[in-house]
Structure 1
Amino acid sequence: MRETLPGESVVTIDPDVYEAIPFSGRCEEIWRRGEHLLIGVSPGNSYFSHRRIAELIGWGREFFERIDIVHADLHVEAQYEAFGYTAEHARRRATKEVKATARRIDRGAEEAGRPDGVRMHALSDFAGHPVYRRLHRQALDALRTDPVFREAAEGMARGFLAARMDEGLTPNEPQLAAGLQYIAAELPFFLDTPALLGVASSVSCYHLQLPLTPVLFGRDEGLRAAAGQAYAVVRPAAPASVKVPVARAA
């Protein structure tokens, strides 16, 4: 990690501030390799403050050789349109939200001291990548042909959309379709981050267990994660919580 420059304020993180819960034994094995951590950030998600991002970077560098942070910026506009915004208003809202997310990530990286081995991307940076396009097609095909995958993806979309709706309401068909479109755009990084970023193995993390996790990482048929792809819940450690022992990267 690089030295701190005079006048810089860098967040120092106790490695026990967060706890990691790999989904399976295979996921834990990949975690222990400490090769790569993928942090996905959704626009409009208040969990990912700049301070949280700084903490995650500082914490992650205790265990991983490299970290990539990817923020979603595809199909955000379509969601606003599905909620009744005009095309122009939806475009403005989506642009504002995505830019705010990028600024939070940049500020978080600055507070963390911009350590070596940490990179930041927009999801759209990969739109023309042949591996991304292949994985995205596979996800779209699974939505059409795999009922188990479709049900889990819809559950994930409903949970995501709930944050944009009044309590007690459920998404209609256009809103659900927009949510699924958004999720499908993110799925390549749950399926095969190593192929996308040229790393030997990778752990995709989020602070919640997702409905698609057991489908992609726990079954032996249908669309599932590549051999070098893992998933872990990474969240603030509760007092007296039982933490998964993880090896620090050399």
Structure 2
Amino acid sequence: MSETGGPEEQVDLGTDRAHGARIYDYILGGKDHYELDRAAAEATLQVWPSLRIHMNANRSFMHRVARHLAAEKGIRQFLDIGTGIPTSPNFHEVVQAIAPDSRVVYVDNDPIVLAHARALLTSTPEGRTTYIQADMREPEKIISAPELLGTLDLTRPIGLTLIAMVHFIEDDDEAYRVVRRIVDVLPSGSYFAAAVATDDFDPEVLARVQEVYHSHGESLRWRTKAQAEKFFDGLELEEPGIVQIHKWHPDPVEVGRVDDRDIAMYGAIARKP
């Protein structure tokens, strides 16, 4: 069962600036991006050729998180904020391959994601997917959305994922407030997974990456490990705690094959007591 967020033909595609989701799509070899996005991606690759390694590691982290929550923690309903442009396997495809009755609510503010939302809604008959067009900076709109309330049971554990998203909120207080507001509505036994951008491992190069993003109209805020840990305050971190994303429950085949300097993201999962 699935629902869509609105008719594709009415979508304003918002091409007046580069957008992180479309830069990501270009780097991963997708087709849903514009000249501004390609320019931002190529300019970033000029100063940081490892961008493609980093973004592929981020997608691999998302898949491992999804499998871990569904297979190891028994979570059957998920809220994925910052969905991105559909690239198979999508989050719901991963969890529904493990538990076909899983329910997934996707949230994104990129109009191109909305235009392709139907690709996110190919749920199994036993499960359900739905899509909310919303900005994470307005958490009240997300947690009160009919699509969410009609899909997820807020009395049962939920897996909340914010993968490579909080760096688009540059003000620290706002970023922590947004995350805390959404975590607060989750019932006990829920899990929160996040990937938080950092320049801890190559600050000089990544300072130039930030300049490129800003010059193309996109936000980017690096955070230290201590600042990343603050997003998980009050929660119980799962092993191995907060680590670079390629080191979180890594595929044994990949261990030792990625240079730490090529990864600009911390990742973790934590349980809500």
TM-score greater than 0.5 by the shorter chain: no
Tell me which protein shows more helix as a share of its residues: 1
Flag the structure with more relative contact order, 1 or 2, with Cα contacts below 8 A and sequence separation at least 6: 1
For this structure pair, what is the TM-score category when the shorter chain's length is used for normalisation?
Answer: 0.3 to 0.5
